[in-house]
Amino acid sequence: MRRYRKSAYWLVILSSWLWAQVATAALVLVDGGNQTIPAGSPSEVIVFRALDTAGNPLSGAVVNFTLIDASCNQMNSNLQVFTALTDAQGQAITALRANNTAGRYTLTATMADDPSQIAGTGITVSGIDTVFAIDGVCQTVGSGQNSNPIVFRVVNANNQLASNVTVNFTLVNSVGITISNGVTVSSAISDAQGLVRTQAIANQKLGTYYIVASLANNPSKTGSAGVKFLAGEPALISSLTSDFRLPAGQSSGNVVFKLTDAYGNAVTNRNLNFSVQTPTGQLITTNVSPANAVTNENGEARTRFTAPETQGAYRLIATLANSTISGSVMVNVVSPLLALPSLGFSTTLKADGTLLSTSATFSGGIAVNGGAYTQQVEQVLSDTVVIEGSILVQEEHIGATADIVVVAAYTPLPIESSATYFFMLKTGGAIVSWSLSPATLEPFINDVSLASAQEVKMYTGAFVGTGLLQVFFGYRLTDGTVVFNGEMPIRILINP
């Protein structure tokens, strides 16, 4: 019993020690901050200290260092130490190597096991007979806002602060193109401290830009400072999915909304809530899945809508969380068609070969031996099948003259090592090889006037060979545009 208590005692002590090693309360700059060093000389040491939650020095902790130059480039090769282990005083030490590029550098220290613990300082490398940035570098600015002042210093050939020197400013983008009217001050005269100032003017496009300062009497003498323009505050939610129709009881494909700022820049990592306004004006959330989503790197969030049994005009709404900003798309719920599985939204192939996602919706499937329709099936060669599909035609195509087309991709067994061949259904049901050239695609049904819902009965009978069959169908307009079930084919695996 005493042995157990003694072991337990040491376990408690060990656990407390381990907890103290990782529980960082703060990382602070101790010494060497805000140095100004001559170009070509190393810096003095820069010292950071890690503290535990009790405020005591934290030893044995890993600290990572990052160095960023005035143009927002990572320059860790200019550090003498990239990673350090804190000593008994909780200190981690680094320094800058000798560096000939003048400008303001930003040194950041981060706890390896808790990246939220950060400390940093600026280091200025001073040049001779040049101009270089010393403040306001590598700012992050919301689109539509001017930057804070960016300060440059002029030093003459005698290593003295140079007053009364004219400095010109330009704003250039990441590929070196000058942005007209990109700075608040395009030319300035240095003061007694050799200082000149300007700001980047509100930019509507995202990305990293550079304010370039050059001496008027010697334009080859330049310095630069980076400015990162990010998306501004959310201003607009738009639907990337056009208004569409959906049979009662059917689920839509992905309905895509996009969140942007006032200049059309994508706003990322924001939560959108989805709801549905019924024909009577009631707001519901039971027919959307998911009910909320976070905007991705393109500012987009997706949901799906399941049509209720009650027909009529519904509005699918996306609303920015904790905001009144919203966008919507109309969904016309129509009478149910034959109970076919959803094949999602259409893909549109333009005559020039361009592929687009569009708002026609497809349903279709295969019924084997009188069973239910499914989107994919595994069967045997002797089975009798029926393949049918339906199209909710894109709004602007209703009433247009079009051909109904049917194409199948066929891969013989074994499918892992066999080539894939393409076939098309001609008028009357004849199956012929297709070269994948749009010009040689023949119609299954000629010259139909597209209704809002178009049914396509493709095949009834047994197959004549084993393998994998993937069935695509759709309609071709008179301008050569083909709208088909590109999201999801009917997939049939035929065994012997």
**Mean pLDDT, the chain, integer:** 91
Inform me whether the pLDDT recorded for 199 exceeds 90.
yes
pLDDT band at 355 (very low <50, low <70, confident <90, very high): confident
Inform me whether the pLDDT recorded for 346 exceeds 50.
yes
pLDDT band at 12 (very low <50, low <70, confident <90, very high): very low
Task: Tell me what pLDDT residue 202 has.
Answer: 82
pLDDT band at 11 (very low <50, low <70, confident <90, very high): very low
The string of DSSP letters for 218-258 reads: EEEEEEEEEEEEE--S--EEEESSPPEEEETTPBPS-EEEE
Task: Tell me what pLDDT residue 23 has.
Answer: 58
Inform me whether the pLDDT recorded for 468 exceeds 70.
yes
pLDDT band at 24 (very low <50, low <70, confident <90, very high): low
Inform me whether the pLDDT recorded for 21 exceeds 70.
no
Q: What is the pLDDT of residues 232-289, one digit of tens each?
A: 899 999 999 888 888 888 778 789 999 999 889 999 999 999 999 999 999 999 999 9
Is the CB of residue 362 less than 8 Å from the CB of residue 485? yes
Q: What is the pLDDT of residues 45-70, one digit of tens each?
A: 999 999 998 899 999 999 999 999 99
Task: Tell me what pLDDT residue 19 has.
Answer: 40
Cα 275 to Cα 319: distance, rounded to the nearest angstrom? 8
Token output for 174: 């990441």
Task: Tell me what pLDDT residue 17 has.
Answer: 40
Task: Tell me what pLDDT residue 40 has.
Answer: 93
Cα 131 to Cα 213: distance, rounded to the nearest angstrom? 7
Determine what percent of the chain is predicted with pLDDT higher than 90.
Answer: 78
Domain 238-334 superfamily per CATH: Immunoglobulins (2.60.40.10)
- Among 104-118, 265-279, 418-432, 438-452, where is mean pLDDT lowest? 438-452
Inform me whether the pLDDT recorded for 71 exceeds 70.
yes
Domain ranges of the chain: 20-126, 130-230, 238-334, 342-495
Which residue is listed with tokens 């994508």?
Answer: 266
Q: What is the pLDDT of residues 87-139, one digit of tens each?
A: 999 999 999 999 889 999 999 999 999 999 999 999 999 999 999 999 999 99
Q: Which CATH number fits domain 20-126: 2.30.40.10, 3.20.20.70, 3.50.50.100, 2.60.40.10?
A: 2.60.40.10
Cα 299 to Cα 409: distance, rounded to the nearest angstrom? 35
Task: Tell me what pLDDT residue 352 has.
Answer: 86
Inform me whether the pLDDT recorded for 8 exceeds 60.
no
Task: Tell me what pLDDT residue 184 has.
Answer: 96
Mean pLDDT of 319-337: 92
Domain 342-495 indexed as CATH 2.30.30: no
Task: Tell me what pLDDT residue 14 has.
Answer: 40
- Class of domain 130-230 (CATH, top level): mainly beta
Identical fold for domains 130-230 and 342-495, yes or no, is: no
Q: What is the pLDDT of residues 127-185, one digit of tens each?
A: 999 999 999 999 999 888 899 999 999 999 999 999 999 999 999 998 999 999 999 99
Return the ∠ at Cα 456 (arms to 453 and 462), rounded to 5°: 155
Picking from 474, 478, 430, the residue whose alpha carbon sits closest to that of residue 455 is 474
